Structure 1
Amino acid sequence: MSVLLLSRGLYDELRAHGEETYPHECCGALLGTPGSGGWHVTKVVRAGNTRTDSAHNRYSISPLELVRIERDARQHGLEIAGFYHSHPDHPAQWSKTDFEEAHWLGCVYVITTVAKGKADVTNCFLLSGASEEEKQFQNISIEVRD
């Protein structure tokens, strides 16, 4: 998989979520279908950031909310394609913590820099590898379609 495909509306929606939660990190899930070239996202699902200790630079989605999101995806014939979150006043690059807490092999992780309350750079990373011990993030392109 080398690309994440999504509509302009969905792309704008996940970026707006980061602006709305600034100066805290936002988070959510991306639902879609896998294809030969990558994930085709058809739904963005906002999630609550359950981190109360450092919501400005960490995020967590509650297990119950994640089960609900996964159930909703299956009911619509979709899969969890990945997750997104924002980095308030920080680069759109995965952190050591982002890597350590990423466990969905084959899924994408989208990060948007929100600089002084405004969405800026958005990057996408595929969590690849055959096991937790072999996992790695690979940069992949985001293709936004109108």
Structure 2
Amino acid sequence: MLSISTALLDAIRDEAHAAGASECCGLLLGDPASDAVIAVLPAANVAPEPEHRFEIDPSVLLRAHRAARAGGPAIIGHYHSHPGGEAVPSTIDAAMAEGRGEIWLIVGADGTIRAWRAGASGQLHGRFDPLEMTASPHPALAPGSPERH
């Protein structure tokens, strides 16, 4: 079960709304052993067609990996929005997924956020399984700032 704060979910939802017709994206940072998200790291969507797919800015990804190696939280997955659709992985998402157990949070056009785990095989598109999510008002699970990473 994925645990995440309501503050982080609100931050992701706000980012998706602000992105308009383009997909927003970012990293989920936390503890892979417990599936606890303790921070999110927004990233620019550098995909050639950001209205239909996402690609996390490589500089943000590298910075997060370096921070994790230095003792910071691990990258346990990422989030993105589907500005014209549901909070369900698409076939494009399935083709992009590494399938090593990473978490995908997807924001639908209506603001719904759902969690998925990408694996070598899955119920949806042969790649994804739904992941139960619990949201907590715990203040320690507040949005992270990019300056911290």
Instruction: Calculate the TM-score normalised by the size of structure 2.
Output: 0.81
2:29 corresponds to which residue?
31
d(CA) in 2 for partners of 1:18, 1:39: 22
2:54 corresponds to which residue?
59
Structure 1 counterpart of 2:46, one-letter code: T
Unaligned runs of 5+ in 2: 138-149
Task: Check whether the contact 1:82–1:104 (CA below 8 A) recurs between aligned residues.
Answer: no
Displacement of 1:58: 0.8
| Greater fraction strand | 1
Structure 1 counterpart of 2:135, one-letter code: V
Q: Deviations over 1:67-109 (max 9, x none)?
A: 1122123334311110000000211110111011111512100
1:97 alignment partner, one of 74, 92, 97: 92
1:129 corresponds to which residue?
120
2:132 corresponds to which residue?
141
- Counting matched residue pairs gives 133
d(CA) in 1 for partners of 2:128, 2:4: 20
2:13 corresponds to which residue?
15
1:4 corresponds to which residue?
2
Aligned sequence identity (%): 30
2:45 alignment partner, one of 49, 57, 65: 49
Hey, which bits of structure 1, 4+ residues long, moved more than 2 A?
62-65, 72-77
Unaligned runs of 5+ in 1: none
d(CA) in 2 for partners of 1:32, 1:90: 27
